[in-house]
């Protein structure tokens, strides 16, 4: 069984109709845990560890938050244990422009701009939280869902309850820790306070 924070986690794998995939995006927006090698820059994490292409980072990910502060330089902002990293596309409005990473209005939000932070020892593996928002979740969401995202059992429980009807209609098959799952029973699974590794693949991707 996989571990995060040293705690074994359950694995839920689902194969769903392609049109069902977007309803899982809100879980990615709320944040999910990723085991990462900490003590590196945001750029190293995103490009070298998570496999995001450098051009995509430059052109599509227009606003980056590290612990709720706007990152202007992905090379100098460091990822440490417990970091929360949120990725967004370009946003409308004056404040959207102000929040843009490295934008010309950066001075208008200097209070919440990310400043240099201490670097954890390199090479350690520790969980961080990743949030994918708006256009980024639309584009990268299916990839992360296929790889698997680690979320709280309670969050999953609320989600399966809220979307019981949609999941029942759109899930083709599933298993928990390798054991086949009857989808009609998904809503009734008690995940408790455990972390769950959720993997979602669309029928087209399988």
Partner 1 sequence: MDKILRINMGAVGGPEIKTEGLGDYAGLGGRAMTSAIVAKEVPPLCHPLGEDNKLVIAPGLLSGSVAAMSGRISVGCKSPLTGGIKEANSGGQPSQMLGRLGYAAIILEGKPKAKTLYKIFINKDGVDIKEDNSLCMLGNYDLVDKMKAEYGEKVHCISIGPAGEMKMSAASIAFTDMEQRPTRHAGRGGVGAVMGAKGVKVIVIDDAGTAARTPADPEKFKAANKEWVAGLRKHPVTGEALPTYGTNVLTNVINEAGAYPTRNFSIGQYEGASKISGESQADLENARGGEGSATHGCHRGCVIRCSGTFYDKNGRFLTKQVEYETMWAHGGNCGIDDIDAIAQIDRLDDDFGIDTIEMGATIAVAMEGGVAKFGDAEAAINLVKEVGQGTPLGRILGNGAAVTGQVFGVERVPVVKKQSMPAYDPRAVMGIGVTYATTPMGADHTAGYAVTANIMGVGGSVDPLKPEGQMELARNLQIATAILTDSTGMCLFIAFAILDQPDTFQALVDLINAFTGESFTGDDLMAQGKAILKCERDFNFRAGFTAKDDRLPEYFKKEPLAPHNVTFQVSDEDLDEVYNF
Task: List residues binding partner 1 (CB under 8 A).
Answer: 22-23, 25-26, 29-30, 60, 62-63, 65, 68-70, 86, 88-99, 104-112, 131, 133-135, 137-138, 166
Considering the complex, state which of residue 39 and residue 153 has its C-beta at the smaller distance from partner 1. 153
Smallest separation (angstroms) from partner 1 to the CB of 137: 7
Considering the complex, state which of residue 69 and residue 147 has its C-beta at the smaller distance from partner 1. 69
Measured in residues, the chain has a length of 206
Considering the complex, state which of residue 91 and residue 172 has its C-beta at the smaller distance from partner 1. 91
3-state helix, strand, coil in the chain (%, to 5): 35, 30, 35
Residue bearing tokens 């040293």 = 6
Contact 23, 163 (CB under 8 A): yes
With the CA atoms of 31, 50, 73 and 29 taken in that order, what torsion angle do they form, in degrees rounded to the nearest 10? -20
- Among residues 169, 167, 205, the alpha carbon closest in space to that of 12 is found at 167
Considering the complex, state which of residue 62 and residue 160 has its C-beta at the smaller distance from partner 1. 62
Smallest separation (angstroms) from partner 1 to the CB of 88: 5
Q: How many CA atoms lie within 13 A of 77 on its CB side?
A: 23
Smallest separation (angstroms) from partner 1 to the CB of 104: 6
Smallest separation (angstroms) from partner 1 to the CB of 176: 26
């Amino acid at each position: 069984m996989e571990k995060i924070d040293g705690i074994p986690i359950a694995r839920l794998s689902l194969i769903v109709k392609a049109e069902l995939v977007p309803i899982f995006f809100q879980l990615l927006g709320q944040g999910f845990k990723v085991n990462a090698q900490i003590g590196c820059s945001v750029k190293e994490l995103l490009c070298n560890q998570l496999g995001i292409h450098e051009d995509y980072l430059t052109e599509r990910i227009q606003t980056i938050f590290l612990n709720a502060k706007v990152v202007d330089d992905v090379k100098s902002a460091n990822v440490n244990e417990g970091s929360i990293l949120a990725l967004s596309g370009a946003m409308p409005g004056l404040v959207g422009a102000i929040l843009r990473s490295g934008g010309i209005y950066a001075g208008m939000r200097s209070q919440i701009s990310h400043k240099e932070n201490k670097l954890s020892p390199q090479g350690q593996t520790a969980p961080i939280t990743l949030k994918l928002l708006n256009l980024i979740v639309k584009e990268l969401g299916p990839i992360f869902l296929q790889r698997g995202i680690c979320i709280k059992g309670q969050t999953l429980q609320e989600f399966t309850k809220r979307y019981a009807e949609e999941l029942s209609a759109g899930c083709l098959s599933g298993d928990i820790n390798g054991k086949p799952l009857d989808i009609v029973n998904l809503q009734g699974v008690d995940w408790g306070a455990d972390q769950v590794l959720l993997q979602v693949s669309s029928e087209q991707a399988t």
